[in-house]
Amino acid sequence: MYTDLKDQLTAELDAIEQAGTFKHERVISTPQSGRITAGPVGRDGTEVLNFCANNYLGLADHPEIVAAAKRALVERGFGMASVRFICGTQDLHLELERAVSAFLGTEDTILFSSCFDANGAVFAPLFGAEDAIISDALNHASLIDGIRLSKAARFRYRNADLEDLRAQLEAAAALRDGKGARRTIVVTDGVFSMDGFLAPLPGICDLAEEFGALVMVDDSHAVGFMGETGAGTPEHFGVSDRVDIYTGTFGKALGGASGGYVAGRREIVAMLRQQGRPYLFSNSLAPAIVAATLAALELVEGSAELRATLFRNAELFRRRMSEEGFELLPGQHAIVPVMFGDAALAGRMADAMLENGVFVTAFSYPVVPQGEARIRVQLSAAHSEADIETAVHAFVASRAAVQG
């Protein structure tokens, strides 16, 4: 009988609202881009500059990508109505897997409906009760959930802390009466999404080598734009061949629709095709998404220009905001946290920013540590220099309004 649960949920939802952590969605009525029309649920939107999408390369509404999707819709239909292994594999799926492998320099790649699913698939088939998984404390929720699905011993090290990673590797080596875990893997995000900080991959790879452990990087916030050719943080750090498992999303820089992958050593990918549960029991990626993602990869491979624009934009925004006296977390990544400390202040700033025509989002505890509330600005190659100057002016005006 629903009555009791209804009352309980109503009270819990009220409590979330009271705590100021209720997530109110804004409704966008244009393609995702640097400029969008957005407004609260049930009201007409206004045109705003968008500084909170993961649309790093501005490909979400790119004409060539839209055209590739249209072509595939006509030539290959809307959906596959099947999982991959029954009758859901088109030539396009294999082509995209080969293209991702070539792009990342890995032996093989397996597609998933999302990176959330890729991370949900990867651990259980590879790591059992005799094994150890060592995970960065700030890893993405999908890694945390995926790791929980395996029976391996779990260890967690403080964010990007190599000394603590060593301690956890030592703990894994003491398992099974000192014989050590059968298999040990160190798992990290390539870029931590709330800070824009990069994982210290060279140090992680050195420690993994010392302890005979594998390395896995979820590069969702880097694939397509970090590194010389856009292959991500392992390329950026020159450790590509020392990373055993890559996961990532097509839902951010690479067109932004959906889909994810596990790439890496041949036998690892082969095992996931046999036993990765989200691969075996969830539908194939739609052909239009596959074809459009192939087009996105081609665009990324064919030109360094988009990447250069993105980093120029990030650099300009960081410099201008610093000049205006805002406190930023340091770095080069296109995620630029503007720090306010107090959660209510960050929230009021985000509201004022929208009034001033710029869409940004505030994050506070528990998503970030207590007292470190921030607005996370994300730059895109879709922004012009004038857009960035407008955003900086909006920050200045909002600060005056909120503090005044």
Ligand X SMILES: *Cc1c(COP(=O)(O)O)cnc(C)c1O
Q: Rounded to an integer, what distance in angstroms lies between the CA atom of residue 48 and that of residue 359?
A: 6
Among 221, 320, 383, 399, binds ligand X (CB under 6 A): 221
| Whether 24 is catalytic | no
Annotated catalytic residue within 62, 93, 140, 252:
252
For the chain, what is the largest distance between any 2 Cα atoms, rounded to a whole number of angstroms?
65
| Whether 82 is catalytic | no
Annotated catalytic residue within 62, 93, 140, 221:
221
Helix/strand/coil percentages in the chain, nearest 5? 45, 20, 35
Task: Return the SS3 of 360.
Answer: coil
| Site membership for ligand X, residue 115 (CB under 6 A) | yes
Question: Segment near ligand X (CB under 6 A), from 84-92, 108-116, 152-160, 178-186?
Answer: 108-116
Q: Rounded to an integer, what distance in angstroms lies between the CA atom of residue 316 and that of residue 320?
A: 6
CA atoms within 13 A on the CB side of 56: 30
Residues belonging to the chain: 404
Q: Rounded to an integer, what distance in angstroms lies between the CA atom of residue 368 and that of residue 370?
A: 7
Among 103, 116, 237, 246, binds ligand X (CB under 6 A): 116
Q: Rounded to an integer, what distance in angstroms lies between the CA atom of residue 74 and that of residue 277?
A: 30
Closest CA to 379 of 317, 322, 328, 323: 317
| Site membership for ligand X, residue 236 (CB under 6 A) | no
Q: Rounded to an integer, what distance in angstroms lies between the CA atom of residue 222 and that of residue 93?
A: 22
Task: Return the SS3 of 285.
Answer: coil
- At closest approach, how far in Å is the CB of 285 from ligand X? 11
Helix axes 305-323, 385-403, angle to 10 degrees: 30
Q: Rounded to an integer, what distance in angstroms lies between the CA atom of residue 318 and that of residue 334?
A: 9
Count of residues near ligand X by CB under 6 A:
13
| Site membership for ligand X, residue 335 (CB under 6 A) | no
Which of 136, 387 has the CB closer to ligand X? Answer: 136
| Site membership for ligand X, residue 232 (CB under 6 A) | no
**Residue carrying the six token digits 């029954």:** 86
- At closest approach, how far in Å is the CB of 193 from ligand X? 5
| Site membership for ligand X, residue 146 (CB under 6 A) | no
Annotated catalytic residue within 193, 282, 284, 364:
193
Which of 320, 333 has the CB closer to ligand X? Answer: 333
| Whether 221 is catalytic | yes
Strand 184-189 with 26-28, pairing: unpaired
Residues 191-220 that bind ligand X (CB under 6 A): 193, 218, 220
- At closest approach, how far in Å is the CB of 18 from ligand X? 29
Contacts of 159 (CB under 8 A, 6+ apart): 136, 137, 138, 192
| Site membership for ligand X, residue 378 (CB under 6 A) | no
Among 189, 195, 235, 387, binds ligand X (CB under 6 A): 189
Q: Which two tokens stand for residue 156?
A: 């967690």
Among 230, 234, 251, 278, binds ligand X (CB under 6 A): 251
| Site membership for ligand X, residue 140 (CB under 6 A) | yes
Which of 2, 281 has the CB closer to ligand X? Answer: 281
- At closest approach, how far in Å is the CB of 258 from ligand X? 6
Which of 116, 157 has the CB closer to ligand X? Answer: 116
| Site membership for ligand X, residue 114 (CB under 6 A) | yes
Residues labelled catalytic? 193, 221, 252
Binding residues vs ligand X (CB under 6 A): 114-116, 140, 142, 189, 193, 218, 220-221, 249, 251, 260
